[in-house]
A and B are shown apart, each in its own frame.
Chain A
Amino acid sequence: MVDPGLDKSSFEATVLVGTQLCSRRLLQQIIYCVGGVSVFFPLFTKTDLYEIEEAKQAGQALLTPITKERLTAEVIELIASVLDENLANQQQMLLLSGFPILGFLLQSVPPEQLNMDTLSALKHLFNVVANSGMSHKLLVCSFLLSLSSLTT
């Protein structure tokens, strides 16, 4: 596997027997591999199916199961956590008209799902999106200003 054109000796290492190689990535950073933040959108239409799943797994639940009332809120929290502090995902959200699609999907969510939990999850999503702009803007303007002082 070693590329003959490159001298890799400086960072090569011998893997001892019994070593398990693994690397970890945050879901937020690799979600683009499966289509980005929009992969979560179909979950909004699955609230009816959840009942069946819940009944099936009731006996052998290891984690505390999410109640049906919190289902939509949990999906929104999931989207918020993917967008949090991640400009690439936020940009994708804008380019694929994520919020218009979300609004359309929420229209067909049953009203009992549109409860206080869902509203506070949406508020959290809003704050995630609204507060990330400041650091990005400061970055852009400091870059441009430093560029201008560099050339003079």
Chain B
Amino acid sequence: MFFFVVFEFINYLISNFQFEAVCQIFGYAALFNLLPGLSDMLVKDAISHIFLNPVVWVYSVYRVQRELYMFLIQQFDNDPRLLRSLCRLPRVLDIIRQFYWDDVKTRFAIGSKPLLHPVTKQVIGERPSKDEIHKIRLLLLSLGEMSLR
């Protein structure tokens, strides 16, 4: 609806030969970060598909996962707009329930069995220990807390 009104307005301006006004409006919009830029879209893609995608990271060692979530907290702290669009509290709770659980019995738990090599059947990845999972969970919860502020 909002965009419809905006485009109606632009249409009116163009049809009345006020091209310079249109340029000015878009120029100032770009200046004040109102138009989504290429880099904004790429950043969103990168966070939602790589950094905030625990399917990738669940079997990596604790040090890496801690560093990953510290990095995310830092990024969301720098740009709260990202937090609002990508990482609300429900998402955080969902990630904890699926990947950083304490109780294996939940239906949605991922990572309950160690990761085996498809051919040799050797163990190639395991979830961090219970203590370490607990620490990661605290990091994630602080991320969730940030989104409530």
Stretch of A2-10, A23-31, A91-99 lying at the B interface: A91-99
A97-B45 in contact (CB<8A): yes
- Tell me the smallest distance from the CB of A71 to a CB of chain B, in Å: 15
- Give the size range of B's interface with the partner: 35 or more
**What per-residue 1/0 map shows which CB atoms of B108-121 lie under 8 Å from chain A?**
00000001010000
- Is B30 a contact of A137 with CB atoms below 8 Å? yes
**A126-B115 in contact given A114-B57, A116-B63, A119-B64 (Cβ < 8 Å):** no
Name the residue on A nearest B127 (C-beta): A111
Contact of B50 among A106, A134, A145 (CB under 8 A): A106
Determine which of A97, A119, A137, A148 lies in contact with B68 in the assembled complex, contact meaning CB atoms within 8 Å.
A119
Residue of B42, B50, B55, B115 with highest tally of chain A CB at under 10 A: B42
Within 102-152 of A, Cβ neighbours of B (below 8 Å) are at 102-104, 106-107, 109-112, 114-116, 118-119, 122-123, 125-126, 129-134, 136-137, 140-145, 147-149, 151-152
* Given A111-B125, A144-B26, A129 and B60 contact (CB-CB distance below 8 Å): no
- Chain A residues within an 8 Å CB radius of B45: 94, 97-100
Partner-A contacts on B (CB < 8 A): 19-24, 26-28, 30-31, 33, 37-43, 45-46, 49-51, 53, 55-57, 59-61, 63-64, 67-68, 71, 75, 115, 117, 124-125
Residue ID in chain A nearest B37 by CB atoms: A133
Cross-chain contact B30 with A111 (CB below 8 angstroms):
no
Residue among A118, A133, A152 with the highest chain B CB neighbour number at 10 A: A133
Question: Could you tell me if B27 and A126 are in contact, using CB atoms closer than 8 angstroms?
Answer: no
Tell me whether B23 and A115 are in contact (CB under 8 A): no
Assess the A148–B27 pair: CB atoms within 8 A: yes
A binding-site residues for B, Cβ under 8 Å: 87, 90-91, 93-94, 97-100, 102-104, 106-107, 109-112, 114-116, 118-119, 122-123, 125-126, 129-134, 136-137, 140-145, 147-149, 151-152
B64 contacts A114, C-beta separation under 8 Å: yes
Closest to B124 in A: A110
Q: B20 to chain A: which residues have CB within 8 Å?
A: 147-149, 151-152
14 chain-A/chain-B pairs, Cβ below 8 angstroms: A99-B42, A107-B53, A109-B56, A110-B124, A111-B59, A114-B57, A126-B43, A136-B38, A144-B26, A145-B28, A145-B31, A147-B23, A148-B19, A148-B27
Pick from B30, B42, B56, B67: contact of A144, CB under 8 Å: B30
A106: B residues at CB distance < 8 A: 50, 56
